[in-house]
Amino acid sequence: MKRTLLLLTFVLVGMFGRMYADEGMWLPMFVDRLNYIDMQKSGLKLTAEEIYSVNNSSIKDAIVGLSNSPTPNGYFCSAEIVSDQGLMFTNHHCGYDAIQKHSSVENDYLTDGFWAMTLSEELPNEGLTASFLMKMADVTDSVFSVVSDSMSAEERAAAIRKKTGDLRKSFNDDGKYHVVIKSFFEGNEYYLFVYQVYRDVRLVGAPPSAVGKFGGDTDNWMWPRHTGDFSIFRVYTAPDGSPADYSPENVPLKPKHHLPVSLDGVQKDDFAMIWGFPGSTDRYLTSFGVDFNIENQYPAIIDLFGKKLEAWKEFMDADQKVKIQYASKYAGVANTWKYLIGQTRGLKRLDVKSKKEELEGRFTAWVNADEQRRQKYGTVLSTMEKGYKDMSEAIEPLLYTNLAGMGGADIVGYSMSFNGLKELLKPIEKKDLPKDKDIAEKMKNDRSGQIAKAVEGLREGAKEHFKDYHAPVDQKVLAIMLQEYYNKMPVTMQAPVVYKMFNKYKGSFDMYSQNVFDKSIFANESRVNAFLNNPSLKVLENDPVMQLSSGFMAKAMETSGGFRTAQSSLTGAKKLFVAGLREMQPDKVFYPDANSTMRMSYGSVRDYMPADAIHYDYVTTMNGILEKEDPKDDEFIVPSRLKELIEKRDFGAYGANGELIVCFLSTNDITGGNSGSPVINGNGELIGIAFDGNWEAMSGDIAFEPDLQRTINVDVRYVLFIIDKYAGATRLIDELTIRKAEPKPLRTESL
Ligand code: ARG
């Protein structure tokens, strides 16, 4: 990655051939220099210009970052443009929140799927945006020109903030573009990204969850997989092609590039590249950091998330309406919960700590071998050790205050959205009022205006909040979260309101919670609206939920200081550690940790051995869907129409040799945020959509495991089969650029 090492890379690749670059999330701007030759050797047929170019259309122009913000700093998922009319594929689990928001018991698109049969049936999604990368640039020198060694950490941070702000302004072309600057390699480099952000993104199609989420949370993070994890959206623009808010006048985007779709399928060792927006990895984490995660950070999250899921599930199973209301929240928490359990297990099993210690041992030896290095890097690891120790002491109260308190029951977090209004309702104190009567009068009037505006905002917010809210389940969650908070936090660390209520209600948080929901204005929409018709400071101050959230907030302020100090003591050490590692291994090509910027990962289609004597094939077929079928378990229901097609083996153009491939594995290095990313073959054609990682390598975000780590992809032929044969949405198939070579056997080895 380092620019001065580029030439050397060429020589090494030339000498040793394949570089094993399955590991690595590469910045598109450097692919030509760092990876291109190796990619060609592995099967890439495109020119470097065809994959990344600022001036001509290239693969990068078909890659989309999905966000819920008009000015995103990161992306929750990736997507790809697949037609010249802005049609876009992503995962079902990426579209899940949008699909859920459009769903009701009467129109249950989660259960039944959704297919717009005309453009006019496509559904707008408020807030959802699609970002395209226009260009990126290295601004490291420019950013570092404003800092010096004599500055304190705070001065440094402030100077960098000011400089990056100026740079962002100078690149946004009068607000036409959205500009983001991110630090790489733990603050050793800075890059600037210029995006075009489109704000009218509509839902076009989604399979039923029995396809898009087949296997549910049981199969999540696991192989073998049989999930048709895709959904379809379309990007719209103003009639002149510029980004615009939703309007019926808007028209489908004319993209610079769209990916053609290949029906040729995958074979073992085929070249595969994945483009998208991986969110975050921690590949340069030290052994101290590994310990901190396993011992101090994850257990509390796993504990609280697990308890919350259990409560939600009970109510969801009992009531279809609640099931729809809580589907998206549930899926998100369940996904993270299982991820953290899997990561903990992976870190232990694969003994990642020892691997890190081995590297740290080499680092220490290298540092000690030279006086100058000792000066520069001598205290890096001890600073790191101390920082993590301090953090580990401070994090537990913070986690419980945040996750059981403010973020525990939804009602607590919701009440916090009224804090702004609460401040405005406080009378302006005499001493703050100007002497001039007229000015004083104006000030009071302004205040009324601000209050009216806040009230309007909260009214809108209430609609949204209560649409997916069921008070009885939240009442239960509140009791459980408070109980857990009370059990796990030493009394001296608790927000006083919690132990006071514990005593007042004789140890029954159930009774307390019942009382809270009986009294609080935040428990239902009509109370909130009645309050907003006549907002009063006193009502807010006396509300039991407000008292809870204020108590937790005060506690969080109190406990976060120590944690933040410890955390910031790590900033400098992390930067030096990575700088030192790069200096120590001058021949190694480094890639930066994922940080929600566009990356390319390349590798190949490949099977694996998850454990001794077990071999996992690299594809799954329709047969596995029937093998897993269980009509009594809603994670494994097979819709009758799908069953019929499978039994008739009616696969149309999408099958081969009487089989239909559902999912396949590849060796690409991806992480959360990459969901929905295109898997692209050597000709630049779409062969699949990436959607998951595998259980045996859940520690992969911290240490890549070449033998075990795989990306799970849904085969694009299964996607097209569902659109075409299952849903009959042929207008969408007609939009695609479909490519098929001469018929050839699906797999070279005998089946
Ligand atoms: N593990 C996937 C990811 O993090 C999400 C899969 C969603 N599927 C599910 N059954 N919850 O991207």
When divided into structural domains, the chain yields a total of 3
Element (DSSP H or E) covering residue 431: none
Domain of 162 in residue numbering reads as 131-198
Q: Is residue 590 included in any domain, yes or no?
A: no
Question: What's 227-285 look like in SS3?
Answer: CCCCEEEEEEECCCCCCCCCCCCCEECCCCCCCCEECCCCCCCCEEEEEECCCCCCCCC
Residues 113 and 175 in one domain: no
The residue among 741, 477, 685 whose CA lies nearest residue 44 is 685
The pLDDT of residue 382: 97
In this structure, the residue with its CA closest to atom 4 of ligand 1 is 672
In this structure, the residue with its CA closest to atom 6 of ligand 1 is 220
12 band by pLDDT with thresholds 50, 70 and 90: very low
For residue 209, report the distance from its CA to the centre of ligand 1, in Å: 12
For residue 220, report the distance from its CA to the centre of ligand 1, in Å: 6
Alpha carbons 337 and 460: distance in angstroms, whole number: 31
Residues 546 and 438 in one domain: yes
In Å, how far from its chain's centre is CA 93? 11
Q: Is residue 589 included in any domain, yes or no?
A: no
Q: Which of 230, 316, 335 to mutate to test the pocket of ligand 1 (most atoms within 8 A of CB)?
A: 335
pLDDT per residue over 238-293, tens digit each? 999 999 999 999 999 999 999 999 999 999 999 999 999 999 999 999 999 999 99
Q: Which of 675, 694, 698, 701 to mutate to test the pocket of ligand 1 (most atoms within 8 A of CB)?
A: 675
743 band by pLDDT with thresholds 50, 70 and 90: low
Is the pLDDT reported for residue 2 higher than 60?
Answer: no
Residues 611 and 690 in one domain: yes
User: Are the C-beta atoms of residues 381 and 594 closer than 8 Å to each other?
Assistant: no
Residues in the ligand 1 pocket, defined by CB under 6 Å: 93, 213, 216-217, 220-221, 331, 334-335, 672, 675, 692
Is the pLDDT reported for residue 13 higher than 70?
Answer: no
Residue ending a domain, choose from 146, 167, 198 = 198
DSSP, collapsed to helix, strand or coil, labels residue 18 as coil
Using CB atoms within 10 Å of the CB of residue 461, give its burial: 0 to 12 exposed, 13 to 18 middle, 19+ buried.
middle
Residues 193 and 206 in one domain: no
Please give the average per-residue pLDDT across 321-338, as a whole number.
98
Residues 240 and 166 in one domain: no
- Close Cβ partners of 313 (under 8 Å, ≥ 6 residues apart): 330
For residue 213, report the distance from its CA to the centre of ligand 1, in Å: 8
Residue 93 alpha carbon, nearest atom of ligand 1: 7
Residues 566 and 492 in one domain: yes
In this structure, the residue with its CA closest to atom 3 of ligand 1 is 692
Residues 361 and 438 in one domain: yes
The pLDDT of residue 87: 98
Residues 135 and 122 in one domain: no
742 band by pLDDT with thresholds 50, 70 and 90: low
In this structure, the residue with its CA closest to atom 2 of ligand 1 is 692
Is the pLDDT reported for residue 21 higher than 80?
Answer: no
- Rounded to the nearest 10°, the torsion over CA 152, 158, 164, 168 is 180
Which sequence positions are flagged as catalytic? 93, 229, 675
Residue 215 alpha carbon, nearest atom of ligand 1: 10
Residue 691 alpha carbon, nearest atom of ligand 1: 12
17 band by pLDDT with thresholds 50, 70 and 90: very low
Alpha carbons 440 and 118: distance in angstroms, whole number: 58
User: Is 0.75 topped by the overall pTM?
Assistant: yes
For residue 137, report the distance from its CA to the centre of ligand 1, in Å: 33
For residue 712, report the distance from its CA to the centre of ligand 1, in Å: 11
429 band by pLDDT with thresholds 50, 70 and 90: confident
pLDDT per residue over 529-558, tens digit each? 999 999 999 999 999 999 999 999 999 999
For residue 692, report the distance from its CA to the centre of ligand 1, in Å: 6
691 band by pLDDT with thresholds 50, 70 and 90: very high
Residues 169 and 249 in one domain: no
Residue ending a domain, choose from 147, 175, 198 = 198
Alpha carbons 54 and 107: distance in angstroms, whole number: 44
The pLDDT of residue 149: 87
């199973």: which residue's tokens?
317
pLDDT per residue over 438-481, tens digit each? 888 888 889 999 999 999 999 999 999 999 999 999 999 999 99
Q: Tokens at residue 162, please?
A: 């000011």
Q: Is residue 749 included in any domain, yes or no?
A: no
In this structure, the residue with its CA closest to atom 7 of ligand 1 is 93
